[in-house]
A and B are shown apart, each in its own frame.
Chain A
Amino acid sequence: MSGPATGHAAPGAVQAPEQRFLAHHFTSMDSQLATSKLGIWLFLGSEVLFFSGLFVAYGVYRANHYALFHYAHHFLDWRMGALNTVVLVGSSVSAAWSVRCAQLGKRRGLRISLLLTLLLAGVFLVVKYFEYSHKLHNGVAWGAACKPSAEILASLPPAVQALPVPKDLGTFFSIYYLMTGLHGIHVLIGMGLYVWLIGRAGRGDFVPGYYVPVDTVALYWHLVDMIWIFLFPLLYLI
């Protein structure tokens, strides 16, 4: 996508700055942008289907074991989930802003908004790290390994403490760790992509005629945000 192009202009002709990023198999910058967009949208469509398998697992177990799901969600702190929702919405605005800056040729704004997106993605993972480590230190793991400590059971609401601990509590947490873990891997990949974009923006690669990477990575980032929009109420607010 980003290899320097040989260009189509005659030798000695003055090229527009973006022309050096025109791949040789495209006739124009416009067709390159349109093709890249179609490609990223097809990828995002496949991502939706990729996640749908986990939503099926969630749906089946919830439909058959609603009481277990309702019990288990008390182990999740909705404030952490809400905080991360706000953080991801913020990073999405910043990602959309970076596209706007790239389109308008605002280089400083582009660098700042890319950096802010990366920073907020990092904040998301730090919050997630605290959630995971708190659970795992208290024995709230997946599958048969899920043996909640007396300490974490004592922190549940009194009405919930009165209930016996379901023996298949780990089933909920298998689904929880798989869904949030796969989402977390996507966040990590997104951070890698933003590091790459920041490097290229620093070199001044992006101009109003060429911002394909900024646009496509932002589209990917919005999809990651969109999946969290569904995970938050389904896991934290049952």
Chain B
Amino acid sequence: MNEHSPSSAAAPEHGTHVMPPSVLLGTAAALMALTVVTVATSRIDLGEWNVVLALAIACTKAALVALFFMHLKYENRFQLVVLVSAALFAALFVAFVVFDTTQYQPDIRAAETQAAPRGP
């Protein structure tokens, strides 16, 4: 990161970080490139791994947005804690419900097909 670019010399003294244009445009270029990658990899059949790869790319893109566009890299650490803990709890929420449903759904379906012929 170029902390001493001429433009940031004019920066206010309020403990803020002014993002240099090179970082903003570089982040945008990386996001565009990763969009192309995610479209391209979705065309290849990787079975279960397609969604894992798509989510990994999406998380990388989200991290780029957070670190540079939202200047989290230069902020008070507490704001990072807020975002990461919210994302972590969202991931736990999704993961546990999906684990639960995939574990019990076969039993439910088996019970339904057994019960079906008898009718109400």
Q: Which A residues have a C-beta under 8 Å from some C-beta of B?
A: 29-30, 33-34, 37-38, 41-42, 44-46, 48-49, 51-53, 55-56, 59-60, 63-64, 78, 82, 85-86, 89-90, 92-93, 95-97, 99-100, 103-105, 208-209, 218-219, 222-223, 225-226, 229-230, 232-234, 237-238
B46 within 8 A of A: no
Q: A186 CB to closest chain B CB, in angstroms?
A: 15
Closest A-B pairs by Cβ, 10 of them = A52-B90, A45-B86, A237-B42, A233-B54, A208-B12, A48-B86, A41-B79, A59-B98, A93-B28, A96-B69
**Contact yes or no, B86 A30, CB < 8 A:** no
> Which chain B residues in 11-43 approach chain A with CB under 8 Å?
11-12, 14-16, 18-19, 21, 24-25, 27-28, 31-32, 35, 38-39, 42
**Contact yes or no, B24 A100, CB < 8 A:** yes
**Contact yes or no, B14 A48, CB < 8 A:** no
Q: Which residues of B contact A225 (CB under 8 A)?
A: 65, 69
Q: Name the CB-closest residue of A to B72.
A: A41
CA distance A221 to B94 in the complex (A): 24
Q: Name the CB-closest residue of A to B91.
A: A52
What are 16 residue pairs bridging A and B, where the CB atoms are less than 8 Å apart in the complex? Answer: A29-B14, A38-B78, A44-B82, A48-B90, A86-B32, A96-B19, A100-B18, A100-B19, A104-B11, A223-B70, A226-B65, A229-B61, A233-B42, A233-B54, A233-B55, A238-B42
CA distance A18 to B83 in the complex (A): 30
Q: A99 CB to closest chain B CB, in angstroms?
A: 8
Q: Which residues of B contact A64 (CB under 8 A)?
A: 101-102, 105
**Contact yes or no, A56 B86, CB < 8 A:** no
Query: A103-B12, A104-B11, A219-B70 given as contacts; is B57 within 8 A of A41 (CB)?
Result: no
Q: Mark B86-120, 1 if CB is under 8 A from A, else 0.
A: 11011001100110011001000000000000000
Q: B76 CB to closest chain A CB, in angstroms?
A: 7
CA distance A237 to B90 in the complex (A): 22
Q: Name the CB-closest residue of A to B109.
A: A64
Of B76, B83, B89, which contacts A34 at CB under 8 A?
Answer: B76
Of A82, A86, A93, which contacts B69 at CB under 8 A?
Answer: A93
CA distance A93 to B12 in the complex (A): 21
Query: A222-B69, A229-B62 given as contacts; is B12 within 8 A of A209 (CB)?
Result: yes
Q: Which B residues have a C-beta under 8 Å from some C-beta of A?
A: 7, 10-12, 14-16, 18-19, 21, 24-25, 27-28, 31-32, 35, 38-39, 42, 50-51, 54-55, 57-58, 61-62, 65-66, 68-71, 75-76, 78-79, 82-83, 85-87, 89-90, 93-94, 97-98, 101-102, 105
Q: A73 CB to closest chain B CB, in angstroms?
A: 10
CA distance A104 to B39 in the complex (A): 37
CA distance A33 to B86 in the complex (A): 22
Interface centre among B10, B12, B57, B78, by most chain A C-beta atoms within 10 angstroms, is B12
Of B35, B38, B58, B83, which contacts A45 at CB under 8 A?
Answer: B83
Q: A44-B82, A209-B14, A233-B42 are in contact. List 15 more A-B contacts (CB 8 A).
A: A33-B16, A41-B78, A45-B83, A48-B87, A49-B90, A52-B93, A56-B94, A82-B35, A92-B31, A103-B18, A104-B10, A225-B65, A229-B65, A233-B38, A233-B54
**Contact yes or no, B28 A63, CB < 8 A:** no
